[in-house]
Structure formats: structure tokens, C-alpha cells
Amino acid sequence: MSDAVIRYPDITRPNAFTQEELGWVPWLTPKTIDELTEDDYTALTERSRAQNPYFRLLVRDPVVLGARTRADNDIFYNTDAGLGRAEREVSAAATSRVNGCIYCASVHSRFASLQAPKRREDVQLLLDEGIDATQDDRWTAVVEAAAALTATPQTFGRGHIDALRAAGVDDQGIVDAIQSAAFFNWANRLMLSLGEPTPPTAS
């Protein structure tokens, strides 16, 4: 792998939060598709991820990527109990909004809208106005908990748990809200330190 930092002087960098599908370019050299091994594909879990330069960069350490992907999938796709998928995505989107990760916010706000299509405008309010945007009690509790976990130092406390319970979130759902925010506090920092978003691809 080249140690040289890759620069993109000609790209127009997105400067607003959006639900559109953004691109992403790495500042370090990812593996090429031809370099990928079967162990790499196992770590990617889905072969289609080989098309994504972010995952081809992370797969330089396939053991860590494999653990990261299993955690990600369990947090967001294991929805037999606890918090619904849309609310997990809202937690991740709120975290990304606070951290300023335009790319991750675009991904998780879009997923939230796909899971709760009648609430697309509420999702957009989160992007446009931030965590103080008016939401119903349940989404407000999820967003405020995520924001408190994102703060440095963290301000999350008993009051956030009480607000989630008052909004009808059970203990498993509270764990799901916390894990969604915690995972993306880490993931945002990784993505922000390894590259940058690019504008949506014209259709």
C-alpha cells in the first residue's frame, strides 16, 4: 500500500446534509478488486462490497473488518425484538448529524425513510434543523439519547433512559438505541479520517 495521501483537487465537496446517495473517495490506497483474496471476501460478507473503495480499504485488515461487519449487521438487522429498524437508523443519522459526517448521515437518513416512508419529512427535518427539530415523543427520545452519547464528554444519563421508557421503548429497545449511536460514533470518526464524500452521481 502506498503511504502517499491521495488528493482530489477537482471534486465539488458536498456541504449540506442530504438523503441523496453520495459517493466517497479514500485518502489512502485501497486494495484493488484483483488483489482481493477469499479471506477478504469472507470479511466483506457480501461480494458486492468489493465495488466500494471504503470496504476495500478496510479489508486491508480482514479480521477487524469481519468483526466490524458482524457487529454492524447485528445492531441494524436483528430486529426480532426491541427498537424498530427505522428508529435504529434515526439514532445513527442523529449521531452522524452531530458529528458532521455528511456521508453517514445520508446513508442512515435514507434508510430511515425507506423503513418509514410516511416520515421522510421528519427525517429531512433532522438533517435540515439538527437534533432540535420537532419530532414526536418517541423519535425525540431516540434523537436526544443519540446526541447525548455523541457529546464530548458524554451527557447521556438516567433522564434519557426515562424519556425512552416514557415513549414506550422497552429495555431491549434502549440497548438498540444506545448501540446504534455508539457504533456510529466510532464509524463516523473512521470514515471522516479515511476519506471524504463526493456529490451524488447524476442519473
Render pLDDT for 122-131 as a digit per residue (tens, 0 to 9): 999 999 999 9
pLDDT at 79: 86
In a domain, 9, yes or no: no
pLDDT at 171: 97
As a whole-number percent, the residues of the chain with pLDDT over 90 amount to 95
pLDDT at 201: 75
Name the packing angle between helices 62-77 and 171-194 (round to 10°). 140
Question: Domain check: are 95 and 160 in the same one?
Answer: yes
Mean pLDDT over residues 150-156, rounded?
94
CATH number of the domain enclosing 88: 1.20.1290.10
Mean pLDDT over residues 162-177, rounded?
98
**Residue 199 and residue 12: Cα distance in Å, rounded?**
7
In a domain, 127, yes or no: yes
In a domain, 12, yes or no: no
pLDDT at 202: 60
Question: Domain check: are 91 and 43 in the same one?
Answer: no
Mean pLDDT over residues 21-38, rounded?
96
In a domain, 18, yes or no: no
Q: Which residues, 6 or more positions from 170, have their beta carbon under 8 angstroms from its beta carbon?
A: 82
In a domain, 2, yes or no: no
pLDDT at 4: 86
Question: Domain check: are 86 and 70 in the same one?
Answer: no
Mean pLDDT of the chain: 95
In a domain, 66, yes or no: yes
Question: Domain check: are 179 and 162 in the same one?
Answer: yes
The domain boundary residue, chosen from 42, 75, 108:
75
**Residue 34 and residue 32: Cα distance in Å, rounded?**
5
Residue 117 scores a pLDDT above 90: yes
Cell (9 digits) for 140: 425525540
The domain boundary residue, chosen from 60, 75, 90:
75
Range of the domain at 50: 31-75
At 23, is the secondary structure helix, strand, or coil?
A: strand
Question: Domain check: are 186 and 94 in the same one?
Answer: yes
Q: Give the pLDDT band (50/70/90) at residue 178.
A: very high
The domain boundary residue, chosen from 10, 40, 75:
75
Q: Which residues, 6 or more positions from 79, have their beta carbon under 8 angstroms from its beta carbon?
A: 85, 88
Question: Domain check: are 67 and 85 in the same one?
Answer: no
Question: Domain check: are 68 and 110 in the same one?
Answer: no
Structural domain count, the chain = 2
Mean pLDDT over residues 152-177, rounded?
97
In a domain, 23, yes or no: no
Reduced 3-state DSSP string for 152-191: CCCCCCHHHHHHHHHCCCCHHHHHHHHHHHHHHHHHHHHH
Residue 3 scores a pLDDT above 90: no
Mean pLDDT over residues 23-32, rounded?
96
Q: Which residues, 6 or more positions from 92, have their beta carbon under 8 angstroms from its beta carbon?
A: 76, 104, 108, 146, 180, 181, 183, 184
Residue 203 scores a pLDDT above 60: no
Question: Domain check: are 181 and 88 in the same one?
Answer: yes
Question: Domain check: are 112 and 156 in the same one?
Answer: yes
As a whole-number percent, the residues of the chain with pLDDT over 70 amount to 98
Question: Domain check: are 43 and 111 in the same one?
Answer: no
What is the identity of the amino acid at 49?
R
Residue 1 scores a pLDDT above 70: no
